[in-house]
A = this chain, B = another copy of it.
Amino acid sequence: MRLGVLGGGQLGRMLALAGYPLGLTFRFFDTVSDACAGQVGDLVTGSFDDPQAVSDFAEGLDVITYEWENVPVDAVRLLAERVPVFPPPEALEVAQDRLAEKHFFQQLGIPTPAFEAIDSLDALQGAVQRLGLPAVLKTRREGYDGKGQRIIRAAGEIEPGWEDLGNRGPLILEQFVSFEREVSIIAARGRDGDCAFYPLVQNTHTSGILSRSVAPAPDVRNGLQRTAEDYGRSVVERLAYAGVLAIEFFVSEGRLLANELAPRVHNSGHWTIEGAETSQFENHVRAVAGLPLGSTAMRGQAAVLNLIGATPDGSDVLAIPNAHLHLYGKSPRPGRKLGHVTVRSDGAGEVEAAVEQVQALIRAQGGSSL
């Protein structure tokens, strides 16, 4: 079976590495010819609005998936007329627009921070009155890793905020949630409707980029995991989903508030390669290929540190007991995710000790400001 993947970044690369043992082959589509997944599978390069390039990509594929949620939905719908596409394009539509996403959560009874659609400075001023400050002004589309958003802390920052983002398409204003922590749940749903969930993971962002995930999230009450799974199940069922999907939550006063969803494998699930019986990548591939899901049970404890902008020496990382290195084959650039290190162990204490060592290496080469 030949899988097509829209997007040729590290997520696609890790999908292929997980899928080859299942006897699958992979073809990627990306706009740039040095997309790092091209090192491990066929790569077709072109624009998503170039019918010939897209058609060359689709030729002979059995199923198509995506590893990047900003793939143009129209292009995906056209492809879906020719080759089955999973997850369904509706999931992309929801995820690409922060307003649609919040409405979607609302419809399902999943709490979110309060929000309002913003299409003018007047609307922004009114929304600030109702939601209070601080609040976060975000572009509705194409924001990721903290891009396209700014915090408004005082009335004097309203106009500058509008000037900064108002010309970048429709906006959304969200109440600033003073949260205890950020967690995420990764759900998998098979084409047969079977659902599975990984344990809640606790995430730390640095400058808007995910820098660290700890699995399982420490001190999670049983109820919180169950609630997150209920939310996850209602999302994937409403979307008639197949594949892996992540939902990021704030934990505020002990409650989960949905922040955003990603209709794909997710950075906060990288620990599953070593730390779960079946990785998120394998489960995504299994799901979209119509195969049964694998066990999401944890094996020990795990933590992931992202390598952002620069990478420490591989030898130094690999000399740390239980440290597993994942480099994406990308050239260094400030703020770019170049790899990650997973620490896995049967004991949480060992994980913490190794994380300290990895973090010292990352600090020493000045790559990420963890």
Interface of A toward B, CB cutoff 8 Å: 13, 17, 20-23, 25, 39-41, 277-278, 286, 290-292, 294-295, 299-300, 314-315, 318-319, 321-322, 324-329, 339, 344
* Nearest-neighbor residue (CB-CB) of A346 within chain B: B299
Do residues B315 and A291 form an inter-chain contact, with CB atoms below 8 A?
A: yes
Given known pairs A17-B20, A20-B13, A23-B329, the reply for A292 and B321 (CB within 8 Å) is no
Cα separation A290 to B294 with both chains bound (whole Å): 35
Cα separation A286 to B292 with both chains bound (whole Å): 33
> Which residues of B are found within 8 Å of A277, using beta-carbon distances?
322, 344
> Which residues of B are found within 8 Å of A319, using beta-carbon distances?
292
Q: Could you say which of A39, A41, A300, A344 has the most chain B C-beta atoms within 10 Å of its C-beta?
A: A39
> Which residues of B are found within 8 Å of A325, using beta-carbon distances?
21-23
Cα separation A150 to B55 with both chains bound (whole Å): 56
- Indicate which residue in B23, B292, B314 contacts A23 across the interface (CB closer than 8 Å): B314
> Which residues of B are found within 8 Å of A322, using beta-carbon distances?
277, 295
How many identical chains are in the complex?
Answer: 2
Instruction: Jot down 24 A-B pairs with beta carbons below 8 A, ordered by A.
Output: A13-B20, A17-B20, A20-B40, A20-B329, A21-B324, A21-B326, A22-B314, A22-B327, A23-B314, A23-B325, A25-B329, A40-B40, A40-B41, A277-B322, A277-B344, A286-B318, A291-B314, A291-B315, A291-B318, A292-B315, A294-B318, A295-B321, A295-B322, A299-B299
> Which residues of B are found within 8 Å of A324, using beta-carbon distances?
21, 278, 294
* Nearest-neighbor residue (CB-CB) of A39 within chain B: B25
Given known pairs A17-B17, A315-B291, A318-B294, the reply for A23 and B344 (CB within 8 Å) is no
Do residues B13 and A39 form an inter-chain contact, with CB atoms below 8 A?
A: no
